[in-house]
Chain A
């Protein structure tokens, strides 16, 4: 009875697919005179706009000053032009706008959400323009923000999960610029000066190193004007430099650190995946089956559902400009750490050796294809996709071709891509918790 039930809905899905392609957003793309790439999607229905300004200004460009990218980003809205932090916050809040700055390994980003009402949007864009082009980095703001950054680094040391993350990142990347924490380390942040931030800002927050994603109820001409206003006066500069290539680990290593916690956190993996990778879809679909699809994934089934060993057990790829990690993770009470580690490794080894069954692949495709509309069902999600497509230079039809690419993946593709790209002989395993003797 269950099988019948399922197939009826699969038939429905096929009937519906033309409609679903229609709903996929069309990305308009242009480049400003200063060399900034712009990606725009018009959505109607809500009088609002989401905007991301993304620079290649992530922690990968820290050099030896780990944490400089993060602190630069955190300080941007502390003062700009003739306004201090209170003025900036009050200007944005008085028009109901939301502004956030963030950094990742690859990027330094500013996000703005505003109403499209011109009076409000103008205030929001004018404020963001000052933050982008005239940040003050006053000595007082710098010292305060640095003290806060140092406290937040200390706070991370309270958590075995965060500590495991730091050790894992170092284990898989070694001395590569991906290898240090995005927020830096206490030792390096202590050394930072205001001048370091100014230099970082001047080098990386420039037009030729920027891209803008806009999603909302704006006409194309208005979007163009908005971008011109936003970036006016931002020096052209140059794109960020090319970084050394990630070297994969030579051998499997286990790193253990004691922490006085009731659980031990386990992270296992290695650097694997870039955006635009030819193996992207086989690896992505394969991982969906292995550990990326919640309760139905193999790892969750083996670790949690069958054995009750962990609340969350999963695996994922984090693609980046250069090889981003393939990671498997779980946490479990200290006494059963070895057992849980064994189960997750056996599950991975078996998957890498044999790949998924035909039935598993079919189920994964049903989920990814049938659920595609959920990935782009609101402005926020569309804006995030557009920013990723723009920053990493993915094809503009990425969303249009997504389901077809998923459909074309075969069991043989998954087996081949996992065997060649995901190698347990290079896995770095990190254990942090009470299972590790003092």
Chain B
């Protein structure tokens, strides 16, 4: 059901990120502040509709972590006009599929529908944008669902648990230190009035962007948006506190002990992102650097460490240049048989050192750029993906037009620029490292009991 955490996983990694201007984007702003983006794609008679809110875990303060995600769940629990569950039933009856997701910097709701049903989506989304009815009984049940989600995704997953603790180590005062789903104690202690307050504060047309991609006409979408969303009152939005992360002053390390079979390590360097950066080329150079290390099976880490030296069983690099606040460039890796996390760390840091010392080759750079150009075409195969990128860019406070600049900006990156960002940012004082130290999993005994015997075999 509702996907929540790790939404960055959908967007990270060089080859995934690119969008093209083959299909035009139309932009409207309603009087109440709601922004509407429409991208036509007439290949199939379908439409994807997404409502993006500028709200997520990086807006939360201590004690209520995860409340944006909890509220996302409650958004399916009814309004003054539609009782709990009816939203989903109406979408289903109209042949639609729907879901929602919460990230550090956004909460978004979406439906995919046959193109004539867009009105159904707008009518229901406009209703729950302002008229959510938060009910104590529904809340009590849904809190349990969220706790089960946390157990499933984090508590019982040694690597995800390590990642969660690692983020809390790497960030001191910046809001990315908290997990999107929230700390368990906070989840257990939200009150209905916490939720009520959070909803009133952030769910408003002037804090949202509606993105529509599909077989539609922009003017018609604008008129529909005006009809349903245009009547909603805007809110006075609180001014967001900057909470700028303190400068890191040295290497940070931690060990996480959990029942697991394999060791694992994650390293992260504090790096800038497109939003708020002075030198715009730097995030694009970091994006290329990510591709040089891990942009495909021929990139440096798979070629040199997974094959080559055979020190890593896997190694993945992550960087999201569309994050709202400065973030981490992460490397997650598993040592190959016969190697430990310390050896693997040394090998990874040797790869980083080489980026600092020598410019990447023109062949490597050409390879990364060729992939970006091709993926620009591939991404147009998915209306959902196109809508995601537009919505995310708007929501973090960049313009959607950044999506259209992406390929040219990547093409302009030089080997010297890659080296320059490596030297500036991939340094020990910006680095945090966590090792997962596996605890033995006690082998359980398997028992079988036959409940019914010899029933009709075929």
Binds A, one of B49-57, B154-162, B272-280, B425-433: B154-162
Smallest beta-carbon distance A51→chain B, Å: 13
> Could you say which residues of chain A place their CB within 8 Å of the CB of B89?
296, 363
The 8 A CB mask of A9-37 against B (1 = contact, 0 = none) is 11011001001100100000000000000
Provide the residues of chain B in CB contact with A378, threshold 8 Å.
43-44, 381-383
Interface presence of A220 (CB below 8 A): no
Residue in chain B with minimal CB distance to A9: B94
Query: Once bound together, how far apart are the Cα atoms of A231 and B437, in whole Å?
Result: 48
B10 within 8 A of A: no
* Cβ-defined partner of B95 (8 Å) among A147, A150, A312, A370: A370
- The complex places the Cα of A209 from the Cα of B97 at a distance, in Å, of 37
Q: Once the chains bind, are A309 and B144 in contact (CB under 8 Å)?
A: yes
Q: Is the CB of A260 within 8 A of B145?
A: no
Which of B76, B95, B371 contacts A369, CB < 8 Å? B95
The answer to whether B298 has its CB under 8 Å from any CB of chain A is yes
Give the residues in chain A near B85, CB-CB below 8 Å: 295-296, 301, 305
Contact, CB under 8 Å: B94 / A370: yes
Indicate whether A86 reaches chain B with its CB closer than 8 angstroms.
Answer: yes
Pick from B117, B151, B313, B381: contact of A148, CB below 8 A: B313
Asked if B366 contacts A94 (CB within 8 A), the reply is: yes
Q: Is the CB of B261 within 8 A of A154?
A: yes
Minimum C-beta distance from B300 to chain A (A):
10
Q: Is the CB of A263 within 8 A of B92?
A: no
Say whether A158 contacts B262, CB under 8 Å.
yes
Q: Which residues on A sit within 8 Å (CB–CB) of B63?
A: none
Flag B137-164 by CB within 8 Å of A: 1 or 0 each: 0001111111111011001111000000
Closest to A167 in B: B446
Q: Report the bound CA distance from A308 to B144 in whole Å.
A: 5
A426 to chain B, nearest CB (A): 7
Complex: A13 Cα to B380 Cα, angstroms:
27
* Contacting pair A363 B93 (CB below 8 A): yes
Is the C-beta of A257 less than 8 angstroms from some C-beta in chain B?
yes
- Min CB distance B186 to A, Å, is 17
Q: Are A366 and B93 in contact (CB under 8 A)?
A: yes
Known: A94-B366, A167-B446. A250 touches B156 (CB 8 A): no
CB atoms of A47 and B377 under 8 A apart? yes
Q: Which of A143-175 contact B (CB under 8 A)?
A: 144, 147-148, 150-152, 154-155, 157-160, 167
Chain B 378-407, CB within 8 Å of chain A: the 1/0 string?
101111000000000000000000000000
Which chain B residues numbered 64 to 116 have a C-beta less than 8 Å away from chain A? Answer: 76, 82, 84-86, 88-90, 92-98, 112-114, 116
Tell me if A254 and B451 are in contact (CB < 8 A): yes
| Contacting residues, chain B, for A312 (C-beta < 8 A) | 1, 152
CA distance A48 to B378 in the complex (A): 7
In the complex, which residues of chain B have a beta carbon less than 8 angstroms from the beta carbon of A259? 441, 444
Within 8 A of B (CB), among A183-212: none
How many Å lie between the Cα of A23 and that of B214 in the bound state? 14
User: Could you show 24 A-B contacts with beta carbons less than 8 Å apart?
Assistant: A2-B90, A46-B377, A88-B298, A97-B374, A150-B337, A151-B262, A157-B441, A158-B262, A251-B453, A256-B446, A257-B444, A258-B444, A262-B156, A263-B151, A300-B1, A308-B148, A309-B148, A311-B1, A363-B92, A366-B95, A371-B113, A373-B95, A373-B114, A378-B383
Query: Which 10 residue pairs of A and B lie closest in terms of their CB atoms, listed nearest first?
Result: A370-B95, A96-B374, A258-B444, A89-B298, A371-B95, A308-B141, A308-B144, A89-B297, A377-B44, A311-B149
In addition to A253-B448, A253-B450, 12 A-B residue pairs with Cβ atoms within 8 Å of each other are A48-B378, A151-B336, A250-B453, A250-B457, A251-B451, A253-B451, A295-B76, A308-B140, A310-B148, A311-B149, A370-B94, A374-B97
